[in-house]
Structure 1
Amino acid sequence: MKKAYLNWSSGKDAAFALYKIQQEAELSITKLVTTVNSESNSVSMHNLDVQLLKQQAEHLGIELHLIKLPAGDVSMVDYNKIMKDAVTSLKNEGFRISVFGDIFLEDLKRYREEKLQEIGMKAVFPLWKLDTKELILDFIAKGFKAITICVNAKVLSKDFCGRIIDKDFVDSLPDGVDPCGENGEFHTFVFDGPIFSTPVSYIKGEVYKKIYSEGNENNTWDSKFYYCDLQSGMK
Structure 2
Amino acid sequence: MADDADGTWVSLFSGGKDSSWALYRALEEGLPVSHLLTVHPEGDSYMYHVPATNLATLAAESIGIPLIDVHPGDLGAESADASGEQGDAELEPLEAALRELLEEENIVGVTAGAIQSEFQTSRIQAMCDRLGIELFAPLWQRDPEELAAEMFEAGFEIKIIQVAAYGLDESWLGRTLDADSLAELRDLNDEYGVHILGEGGEFETFVVDGPHMHRRIALDYETEWEGTRGRIHVTDARLEPSDT
State whether structure 2 residue 215 is matched by structure 1 residue 186.
no
Return the structure number with greater helix share.
Answer: 2
Task: Report SS of the residue matched to 1:204.
Answer: strand
8 Å CA contact 2:157, 2:177 repeated in 1: yes
Matched pairs, number: 215
Contact between 1:146 and 1:190, CA under 8 Å: does it hold in 2? yes
> Equivalents in 1 of 2:229, 2:108: separation in Å?
36
Query: Partner residue of 1:144?
Result: 156
Judge conservation of contact 1:145–1:192 (CA < 8 Å) in 2. yes
CA displacement, residues 56-81 of structure 1 (integer Å, 9 cap, x when unaligned): 1011001010001229x964364343
Which consecutive residues of structure 2, in runs of 5 or more, have no partner in the other structure?
240-244
SS in 2 for 1:195: coil
C-alpha displacement of 1:207: 3.0
The question of whether the paired residues in 1 share the 8 Å contact of 2:16 and 2:49 is answered with no
Cα drift, residue 6 of structure 1: 0.5
Q: 1:87 aligned to 2:92?
A: no
2:17 counterpart letter in structure 1? K
Q: Distance in 2 between matches of 1:151 and 1:158?
A: 8
- Structure 1 unaligned residues grouped into runs of 5+: 211-223
Question: Where does residue 18 of structure 1 map in the other structure?
Answer: 23
Say which of 216, 220, 223 aligns to 1:199. Answer: 216
Query: So what's the TM-score if we normalise by structure 2?
Result: 0.79
Specify which structure has the higher proportion of strand. Answer: 1
Distance 1:48 1:87 in 2: 22
Cα distance in 2 for residues equivalent to 1:80 and 1:46: 14
Residue aligning to 2:231: 227
Please list every run of at least 4 consecutive aligned residues from structure 1 whose deviation after the TM superposition is greater than 4 angstroms.
none
- Cα deviation, 1:112-153, whole Å, max 9, x if unaligned, reads 111221222222211222211111122112211011111114
Cα RMSD for the two superposed structures: 2.5
Residue 63 of structure 1 pairs with residue 66 of structure 2: yes
Retained in 1: the 8 A contact 2:220–2:236? yes
